[in-house]
């Protein structure tokens, strides 16, 4: 099934090379297709690593091993397989990952534990070891390539190629960040999974890189939803080669730490938004801004309850400023809320305040706003200082067509 590019797609940006990162792709032919589906990033010695992973209790071997590997803090290579997620494949799945780690480690003369592996695609079929072996051999010999080629090769059912970059000044030293991501919801046939990789030439101690990535994740990847479903393989890794030669960042007190975090946050946010923009059947990008909650975490949960509500998402699809459905979604979130203090608006215009519809509510500008592609919803709970932004897309006939009409 070839899908037209999402109407919310963005052109792939100009991304600078990151010193200490060499990208290569090859054809492992994990599926019966003629495209690069195996991606290799070679990383300079001393590269530190951090990661965030799906909370799924049924995670893939790649995720189980990755969770352990990041605690060691060192990375020399990344391998991404596209077309087969290797999830729900038991010990045979684990063996395939270990084979790849050993093969790359031997070629680079490094520890297998510093070789990170991700896989995305069909569930329940063990990654074929022969194809993986030949593919890895081929990718080790292939020519270096650019960001867009790598971003393409990690994709499965993505309708456009996704990347984001930023830079930051650590004192007088300019550092670069570049990121690529794949994902478009849990799409048929189980071509699931969000996989994101961020690279920087800054030197950052692994523990602090993890602290920053985890914090950025809470405000970005953890705040997006397409259909509320969670992949068994979701992974975001950050690699810092240190090749720019700055004094390694070790804590928030270090000069430049805040600047670097701001750049990391920007890259994470853009990558997260791109995944939503490729949501199955999406016609509108929706930002839900929640304020006045008991805490930021509570605000995030309320925002996700709204963003995951099929009734809210179908209302937006229909261009309907249906604030009653937003009330319903706030009510079911299971978070502190007071019906009589709740305010709801669309596109900067309040429709209801303090638990009642506004008498002078002017629907015309709201209706116009809802005709657009970028929708803003404001929800003020009126009981505290907690805030969060959450992003999603609308729920359309396109989603049903992709997920129900197509047989795996």
Nearest approach, Cβ of residue 169 and its own copies (Å):
40
Read off the DSSP letter of residue 6: P
The DSSP call for residue 403 is: I
Q: Contacting its own copies (CB under 8 A), which of 41, 82, 87, 151?
A: 87
C-beta of 18 vs 302, nearer to its own copies:
302
Rank residues 110 and 125 by Cβ distance to its own copies and give the closer one: 125
Residues 6+ apart with CB under 8 A from 210: 50, 51, 70
DSSP state of 244: T
314 is in an annotated binding site: no
Give the interface segment with its own copies, choosing from 3-11, 85-93, 166-174, 204-212 (CB under 8 A): 85-93
User: For its own copies, what does the binding mask look like between residues 178 and 217, x meaning CB under 8 A?
Assistant: --------x-xxx-x-------------------------
Given a contact cutoff of 8 angstroms between Cβ atoms, the answer to whether 204 and 173 are in contact is: no
- Residues 369-408 interacting with its own copies (rule: CB under 8 A): 394-397, 399-401, 403-408
Interacting residue with its own copies among 46, 73, 144, 355 (CB under 8 A)? 355
* DSSP per-residue string spanning 185-231: SSBTTTB---EEEEEESS-B-HHHHHHHHHHHHHHTGGGB-SSS---
Which active-site residues does the annotation give? 193
**Cα angle value 295/249/154 (rounded, 5°):** 75
Interactions with its own copies, residue window 50-69 (CB under 8 A): 54-59
Which residues, 6+ apart, have CB-to-CB distance to 22 below 8 Å?
41, 42, 144
Q: How many residues bind to its own copies according to rule CB under 8 A?
A: 72
Torsion angle in degrees (nearest 10) through CA of 294, 297, 301, 302: 30
Q: Are 136 and 103 in contact (CB under 8 A)?
A: yes
Binding to its own copies, residues 321-340 (CB under 8 A):
322-325, 327-340
Cβ distance to its own copies smaller for residue 109 or 407: 407
Q: Segment 108-137, which members bind its own copies (CB under 8 A)? A: 122-125
Annotated binding site: 156, 182, 193, 280, 403, 408
């Amino acid at each position: 099934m070839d899908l037209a590019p999402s109407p919310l797609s963005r052109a792939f940006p100009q991304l600078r090379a990151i010193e200490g990162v060499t990208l290569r792709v090859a054809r492992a032919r994990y599926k019966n297709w003629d495209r690069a589906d195996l991606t290799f990033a070679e990383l300079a010695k001393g590269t530190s690593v951090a990661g965030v992973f799906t909370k799924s209790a049924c995670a893939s071997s790649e995720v189980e091993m990755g969770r352990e590997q990041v605690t060691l803090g060192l990375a020399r290579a990344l391998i991404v397989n596209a077309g087969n997620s290797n999830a729900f494949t038991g010990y045979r799945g684990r063996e395939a990952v270990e084979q790849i780690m050993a093969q790359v480690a031997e070629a680079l003369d490094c520890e297998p534990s510093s070789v990170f592996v991700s896989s995305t695609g069909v569930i329940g079929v063990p990654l074929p070891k022969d194809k993986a072996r030949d593919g890895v051999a081929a990718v080790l010999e292939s020519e270096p390539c650019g960001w867009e080629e790598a971003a393409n090769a990690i994709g499965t059912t993505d309708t456009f190629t996704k990347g984001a970059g930023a830079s930051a000044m650590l004192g007088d030293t300019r550092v670069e960040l570049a990121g690529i991501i794949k994902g478009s919801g849990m799409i048929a046939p189980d071509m699931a999974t969000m996989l994101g990789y961020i690279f920087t030439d800054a030197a950052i101690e692994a523990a602090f890189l993890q602290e920053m990535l985890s914090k950025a994740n809470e405000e970005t990847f953890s705040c997006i939803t397409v259909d509320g479903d969670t992949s068994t393989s979701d992974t975001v890794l950050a690699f810092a080669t240190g090749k720019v030669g700055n004094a390694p960042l070790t804590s928030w007190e270090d000069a430049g730490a805040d600047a670097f975090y701001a750049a990391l946050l920007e890259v994470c946010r853009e990558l997260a938004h791109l995944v939503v923009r490729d949501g199955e059947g999406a016609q509108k990008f929706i930002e839900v801004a929640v304020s006045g909650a008991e805490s930021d975490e509570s605000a995030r949960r309320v925002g996700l309850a709204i963003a995951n509500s099929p009734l809210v998402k179908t209302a937006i699809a229909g261009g309907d400023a249906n604030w009653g459905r937003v009330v319903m979604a706030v009510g079911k979130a299971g978070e502190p809320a007071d019906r009589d203090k709740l305010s709801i608006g669309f596109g900067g215009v309040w429709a209801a305040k303090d638990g009642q519809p506004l008498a002078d509510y002017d629907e015309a500008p709201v209706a116009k706003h809802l005709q657009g592609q970028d929708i803003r919803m404001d929800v003020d709970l009126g009981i505290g200082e907690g805030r969060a932004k959450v992003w999603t897309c609308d729920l359309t006939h396109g989603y049903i067509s992709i997920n129900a009409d197509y047989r795996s």
